[in-house]
Amino acid sequence: MKRCIILANGKAPKKIIINYFLQKLNYDLICADGGANTALKLKLTPKIIIGDFDSALPETLSFFEKDSEIIQVKRQNDTDVEKCLKYAIKHKYSEAVLIGVTGDRLDHTFCNLGIVLKFADKINVKLAAENSFLESFSGGVKINACIGEIVSIYGFNKTTTILTKGLKYPLVNEPLPFGVRESTSNVAIANEIELFIKNGTMFVVRDIYGMIKNGFLQ
């Protein structure tokens, strides 16, 4: 199974998070354009660098040219993160974790959250930012958890509903339309949470350090 992290040009999580995916879980590192600058600062060597290269510094690309595959894609109808995801899909990656996709630009953050949904039917896309780890789910799913753990759930429309088991504030076939209602800071009361999502997708956000500590990221 091939999996990758895609490092973009925003604020990256701490190196300990990135190294967990690279070293413990054996993910490949793909940099989206200016994400290569971050990789250089963190002393990480990407497997691939992809973008139109309006952000990656020439000296960064020169530094990595011997050890990384560098692919310039000039088209402007998709973002550099999307270019990386399209590469990952073409090369049979089953999962991609987006990092460095949040930061000073709120529009970029919204765009990258939308990308998680946009590519959901082609590749399993997740997102790590600051202390949080975001996953998208549909259908029925069981999640390992710790009692007392904070679990937040977000939906997007009135037609997608969710039923939960193992949470302090249960949801019983209820929608969570964006801007109307959400399940922020719900709490796990069991070591396994069950979600039953109908007619769409919802985001689940958890503490990434807790997930790593308890071995929930595999």
Residue 205, pLDDT > 90, answer yes
pLDDT tens, residue by residue, 55-105: 999 999 999 999 999 999 987 788 999 999 999 999 999 999 999 998 778
pLDDT value, residue 113 = 92
CATH number of 135-213: 2.60.120.320
Every domain of the chain with CATH number 2.60.120.320 lies at 135-213
Q: Do 109 and 101 touch, CB atoms closer than 8 A?
A: yes
Beta-strand runs (E) in 46-131: 48-51, 69-72, 93-99, 124-129
pLDDT of the residue at 75: 76
pLDDT at 91: 97
Structure letter (DSSP) for residue 12: P
Mean pLDDT rounded to a whole number for the chain: 94
- The predicted model scores a pTM of 0.94
Which regions of the chain carry the CATH code 3.40.50.10240?
Answer: 2-130
Chain centre distance of CA 4: 10
Q: What is the pLDDT of residue 106?
A: 87
Per-residue model confidence as pLDDT tens digits over 132-185: 999 999 999 999 999 999 999 999 999 999 999 999 999 999 999 999 999 999
Q: Which two tokens stand for residue 196?
A: 């039953």
Provide the pLDDT for residue 27.
97
Top pLDDT among 163 and 106 is at: 163
Q: Which residue is listed with tokens 């679990």? A: 151
The pLDDT tens digits of the residues spanning 19-39 come to 999 999 999 999 999 999 999
Q: Which fold has domain 2-130?
A: Rossmann fold (3.40.50)
